[in-house]
Amino acid sequence: MSGSRERVLARVRAALTDVPRDETPQDVDVPRGYAPDHDQGEAVGLLVDRLEDYQALVHRTTPADLAGELARALARRGAYRVAAPADAPGEWFAHTERDVVRDTGLGVADLDGMDGVVTGCAAAIAETGTIVLDAGRAQGRRALTLIPDYHLCVVRADQVVAGVPQALPRLDPRRPLTWISGPSATSDIELDRVEGVHGPRTLEVLIVE
């Protein structure tokens, strides 16, 4: 073990000497003097504005019409074979005749051969236009939403929060988190926009309210 590492660990141990062994982070009240949001308007409307600004496709629908809207989205896309988490609600796909393949361990080549993926999310942040997945129910594992080139995401209105601080308590820190702000894009050294490097080039969002 290096001398630097020993010194760092020694300082950590010294700082923890007065902490009871059964104390958890939740037992300590941490002052948080920042605003949870910036009062930029009604959350769902703001999320739609931000997502569209990021060139995502956005549709607002109702629980009764979700299956129909989802079927229409897949038809517009021309997606005939899509992946979905194993625990995604079956009623989402009640009106589509497309081939929905449940992910029970699909390989990279299998995922790459899909026309898209349909998932839910853990939270959506209006101010940043960000959808967050934490591998919880109906979200699947990270590879499921990073390999197919088209991602259709179902967001319930009660999952939309105004700011990032409001989203964090809704996420499971023990699981990998995927933060999505529009279609995957980056810029090369000459600032030319390149899409699809780190994930799907097309993000479509169905907001259920």
Q: What is the pLDDT of residue 65?
A: 98
Answer whether residue 52 is part of any domain: yes
Confidence of residue 31 (pLDDT cuts 50, 70, 90): confident
Answer whether residue 1 is part of any domain: no
Check whether 1 has a pLDDT greater than 60: no
Q: What is the pLDDT of residues 57-91, one digit of tens each?
A: 999 999 999 999 999 999 999 999 999 999 999 99
Cα separation values, 1 from 11, 127, 200, Å: 15, 45, 42
Q: What is the pLDDT of residue 37?
A: 83
Q: What is the number of structural domains in the chain?
A: 1
Answer whether residue 77 is part of any domain: yes
Answer whether residue 86 is part of any domain: yes
Q: What is the CATH number of the domain that holds 108?
A: 3.40.50.10420
CA dist 107 and 79 (Å) reads 19
Confidence of residue 21 (pLDDT cuts 50, 70, 90): confident
Can you list the positions of beta strands (E) in 24-140?
A: 57-61, 81-85, 99-103, 116-119, 123-125, 130-133
Q: What is the pLDDT of residues 111-152, one digit of tens each?
A: 999 999 999 999 999 999 999 999 999 999 999 999 999 999
Answer whether residue 7 is part of any domain: no
First vs last Cα of the chain: how many Å apart? Answer: 56
Instruction: For residue 101, report the phi and psi dihedrals to the nearest 5 degrees.
Output: -100, 115
Q: Hunting for tokens 């002052």 — which residue is that?
A: 31
| Residue 176 near residue 142, CB atoms below 8 Å | yes
97-106, 137-146, 180-189, 199-208: range with lowest mean pLDDT: 180-189
